[in-house]
Each structure stands twice: as structure tokens, then as C-alpha cells.
Amino acid sequence: MPVVVVANPKGGVGKSTLATNIAGYFAAQGHAVMLGDTDRQQSSRLWLGLRPGLARPITTWDVNADQIAKPPKGTTHVVLDTPAGLHGWRFNDLMKLADRVIVPLQPSVFDIFATRSFLDRLLDNRHAGKLQIGIVGMRVDERTLAADKLREFVGTLGVPVLGFVRDTQNYIHLAARGLTLFDVAPGRVEKDLEQWQPIGRWLDQ
């Protein structure tokens, strides 16, 4: 059972946007998906409460910020949204569960340097060979100098840039209805689905 953890120690980088859409991606493939939220703000849990009954099911996991448990039986795919400032025992417990960690990262020098030590710690946890780590550039045009700088930084770490998520109102409007890119007609979000193709391939490996 793949467990995908979405993590970055900095707040406001798009963790919940990424986590909910990864869950939506798995659900669109017919998997039994669980979306857990270990953040005290419970943004992903709130989003699940907005999700319409006719949408592909994504179940919630009653896990709080102070206790990390194993996923319930019957789940085939798990996505975990995490809090800012993830560290200590909570970080260690999540890394024990995780098969893959996706780090959403905005291409500003402040975000990059705020995330560097966290990425170094993730790489230290990769020694067992199980954990796979990927970066997703958030709110960025991949044709810009900022995107090139992000690739340059990540290239020094040996971690792949899985793709880029553009700055669009599509994510905001869909989230307000408990939906993802994968719940609506493809023609409405064609550019965004195209950006998700390399991310999806990495998730499916």
C-alpha cells in the first residue's frame, strides 16, 4: 500500500492543494483512497467535508496531530497532509510510514533556503532505500527564470523536480466545492492536467 506524505516545514506553500489533488488522482483510478490530515488546521479534513456525495469516494482518517497510527484496513492508497514546522517524533513517525514524500516548493530564494535543511533531513532518511523523494514547483511558470533556479537548486541535491503547478484560480474554485482537477470535465482544466502528467507517472511507479 503506497503512502504518500506531502510535507514542507514552511506554511502557505500549497501542501493541502497538492495533497487533495493527489488523493483525487488516485480516486480517479478507482483506488480505495484515504486522506489523512496531521495538521492542526485540518484543511484537508475540512475539504473532505465539502466533497459532494456523488464524487469518487475519498475517506478520512481519524488521526490527530499528536498521534500517528497505521491506516485502516481496506485502504489501498494513503495521502497524508502535514503541518508546517514538521520535526521531532512526528517527523520520524511519518517517515516510517512513508513510501514517497512530495515536497511542494515555491521558487523564491526565501522558500528554497527555508526548505534546505528539511530536504537534507529527508535525504538522511532515504538511506534505507525505501523512501522516494520528489519536488513539485508550486505557483510557478516552468518557462521562467524562477523555475530554472528551482531546478538548479534541486539538482544539487539529486532529487527530481516532478513537475510544476501553475498559479490558477482553478484550484481555489474546485477546493471550495471539495473537488479536484480529476473530478471535472478534462476540457475545463486541460492545461493543469497536462502539468500533472509527470507527477502522476512518478506516483504510479
pLDDT band at 9 (very low <50, low <70, confident <90, very high): confident
What pLDDT is attached to residue 146?
Answer: 79
pLDDT bin (cut points 50, 70, 90) of residue 119 is: confident
Task: Identify the band that residue 82 occupies on the pLDDT scale cut at 50, 70 and 90.
Answer: confident
User: Does residue 129 carry a pLDDT above 80?
Assistant: no
pLDDT at position 68 is 55
Q: What is the pLDDT of residue 187?
A: 96
pLDDT of 67: 54
pLDDT confidence bin for 108, thresholds 50/70/90: confident
Domain range list for the chain: 3-204
pLDDT of residue 114: 81
Are residues 135 and 154 in contact, defined by beta-carbon separation less than 8 angstroms?
Answer: yes
Which residue would you say has higher pLDDT here, 142 or 185? Answer: 185
Strand 77-81 to 3-6 pairing = parallel
Instruction: Please name the helix (run of DSSP H) or strand (run of DSSP E) that holds residue 185, with its range, or none.
Output: none
Sheet holding 100-105, edge to edge: 58-60, 33-37, 77-81, 3-6, 100-105, 132-138, 161-165
Which stretches of 125-189 are DSSP H helices?
Answer: 145-155, 169-175
| Cβ within 8 Å of residue 107, ≥6 positions away | 137, 140, 144, 146, 147, 149, 150
Asked if 195 and 171 touch (Cβ cutoff 8 Å), the reply is: no
What Å distances lie between residue 202 and 30, 33, 45, 78, 178, CA to CA?
18, 17, 25, 15, 24
| Cα–Cα distance measured from residue 102 to residue 5, given in angstroms and rounded to the nearest whole number | 6
Q: What is the pLDDT of residues 140-164, one digit of tens each?
A: 887 888 788 888 888 888 888 899 9
2: its cell numbers: 503506497
pLDDT at 33: 95
CATH code of the domain occupying 3-204: 3.40.50.300
pLDDT mean over 31-39: 87
Phi/psi of residue 120, nearest 5 degrees:
-60, -40
Average pLDDT over residues 78-105: 81
For all residues of the chain together, what is the average pLDDT?
Answer: 86
How confident is the model at residue 117, as a pLDDT? 84
Task: Return the pLDDT at 154.
Answer: 82
Calculate what percentage of the chain has a pLDDT beyond 70. 89
Judge whether residue 91 has pLDDT over 80: no
